Amino acid sequence: MASHNLFERDINPVLFEEKSYTRKVTLNRPQKLNSLTYEMISQIGAALRVYEDDSKIKFVIFKGKGKAFCAGGDVVRVVQYSIAGHWSFAAKFYQKQLCLDYLLATYKKPLVYLINGIIMGGGAGLSMFGTFRIVTEHTVFAMPEASIGLFPDVGATCFLSRLPGYFGEYLGLTGARINGIEMLACGLATHFVLSKDLQPLEDALCELVAADTLTISKLVSKFIYKGHAKQDSFHKRVEIINKCFSRKTVEEILSSLVNALCELVAADTLTISKLVSKFIYKGHAKQDSFNKRVEIINKCFSRKTVEEILSSLEEEMETGTDKWIVEAISSLKSASPTSLKITLRSIREGRLLKLEHCLSREFTLFRHFMRRTVNNDFYEGARAMLIDKDKKSKWEPPQLWQVSEEMVDRFFAEAEDDDEWEDLHLPNRSGLSNQMKPKL
C-alpha cells in the first residue's frame, strides 16, 4: 500500500470572504478536488455558527475553487489513520461531518450553493438540503460509495430516498453520474445557470440589501438558462403529458390537448407545432432519452432485492443496448455486494425516517465498516480505488447471493460499548431549510 504523510497540512483549505450582507465560503483544495478534511469541516462549522447569530448577515454563498465543487470527504486520510490505529480520529471526523451537514440542513438563513463542476459524497452532504442549489453545464453529480465498499452517506439515505420514483436507488446502487440538467429534473438542483453567467450572478447576489429567500429567488431566476424553446421545455412537456394522457379515453385525451393548446395561445406557431408533433408522433423518439431512462429505472429499481434489480436490467438488455443500462450492470457487478445490499436497505428505509434519524443510522453503519465488524470491504475498496488504484477489489464475500440477511442485519445493529466511538450527538435544532422539489 502506498504511503502518504498523515500530518500534511493544507494552507487555507477554506476561504471566508465578507461582502456587504453576504458571506462567502470557498472550498480551496483544488488539487484534491476540494475533498473535505477534518480541519475544513471544523472551520466551516465554526464560521456558520457565527454567521447564523449575526443579524447583519442575511445569507451565505458556497462555492468550490477549480473544476470541482467538492468530490467528497478525504477518505484516504481517514483510512490511513484507522490502519495506523487511530480509531478516535475516524470517529471524530465522521461525527463532525454529520453534525455540519445537519447544521446546514437546518440553517436559519438562506444558503446559496454555486455548484460548477464535480460534486460527490461529502460535497452532496454539504449542499443537498440547501435553499438554492445552482448547477451549470459543467456540473457532474454522483454517489459512488458502493464502488469503494461503503454506502451513500452524509444524509444521502434521506435525500436519495426522496427523489421521484426509484431514481434514488439507481443513483445510490450504480454510482451513476448525472449532469446539471438531470439534477434539476430529479430535484437535486433548484436552478440551472450557464457557467459564464455564474460570476455575474454571484456579483449581483453580493449587491443585495434585502436578502430574504423570495428576493434571492427572483434574482437567481433572471440568470436561469431556458434554452431556445422556453415554452416547449422538457419539464413543461412532461407536465402537460401527465395532465392530458392521464385521461380515461382517447376523446378526453384529445380534448385535454386542445385545452393545452388554448393555454399556450401566447406561444408562437412554431412552438405549438413542435409541441403537438411530440404528443402525436413518437416513431423516431430517441430511445436513450432521459424520459425513457426514468421509465426503465422505475421498472427495474423498484424490485425488492439487488439480485432482482440486476436481473431486470439484464432483461432490458435483451431488447436494446442503451449505454446507461450497460454501465449500470457493470457498476452493480463490480461494486461490493455487501455495500449494495446495505445501500438498498438504507434508501428504502430512509423514506420513512427524518434526517436526524438517517444520520444517526449512517453513523452506526459507518462504525461497523470502520471496525470491520463483518468484513474488510471498505478498506479493500479504498485500497483498490483510491490508494493503490489497481481497481482490483477483492470483496468478502464476492457474490451477491453469498451476502446473507443476517450479515446485513449486523451492520444495522447498535454497536456495543466502545470507548473510542461514542454515539452520534447532533446539535439541538429543528426543521429542514428546504425540501426536495423535483421538476419531473
Cα–Cα distance measured from residue 295 to residue 368, given in angstroms and rounded to the nearest whole number: 35
The gap between the terminal CA atoms of the chain, to the nearest Å, is 45
Count of residues in the chain? 440
Cα–Cα distance measured from residue 406 to residue 123, given in angstroms and rounded to the nearest whole number: 32
> Rounded to whole angstroms, what are the CA distances from 159 to 32, 164, 168, 172, 374?
25, 11, 8, 11, 27
Cα–Cα distance measured from residue 359 to residue 346, given in angstroms and rounded to the nearest whole number: 11
Peptide bond into 397 cis (omega under 30): yes
Question: Residue 115 in contact with residue 135, Cβ under 8 Å?
Answer: yes
Angle in degrees, CA 349, 171, 78, rounded to 5:
85
Cα–Cα distance measured from residue 374 to residue 283, given in angstroms and rounded to the nearest whole number: 52
Which strand ranges, in their side-by-side order, compose the sheet holding 111-115?
14-19, 22-27, 59-64, 111-115, 132-135, 191-192
Pull the grid cell for residue 134: 445552482
> How many other C-beta atoms are found inside a 10 Å radius of the C-beta of residue 224?
15
**Which of 297, 388, 384 has the alpha carbon at shortest distance from 335?**
384
Cα–Cα distance measured from residue 290 to residue 299, given in angstroms and rounded to the nearest whole number: 14
Q: Kindly name the residue from 73, 155, 180, 350 that is annotated as catalytic.
A: 73
Q: Kindly name the residue from 64, 122, 187, 381 that is annotated as catalytic.
A: 122
Active site includes 153?
Answer: yes
Q: Kindly name the residue from 153, 169, 202, 380 that is annotated as catalytic.
A: 153
**Which of 412, 404, 164, 411 has the alpha carbon at shortest distance from 305?**
404
Q: At what angle do helices 323-334 and 167-174 cross, to 10 degrees?
A: 60
Active site includes 145?
Answer: yes
Question: Residue 139 in contact with residue 183, Cβ under 8 Å?
Answer: yes
**Which of 347, 336, 344 has the alpha carbon at shortest distance from 374?**
336
Cα–Cα distance measured from residue 240 to residue 275, given in angstroms and rounded to the nearest whole number: 10
Q: Catalytic residues, which ones?
A: 73, 122, 145, 153
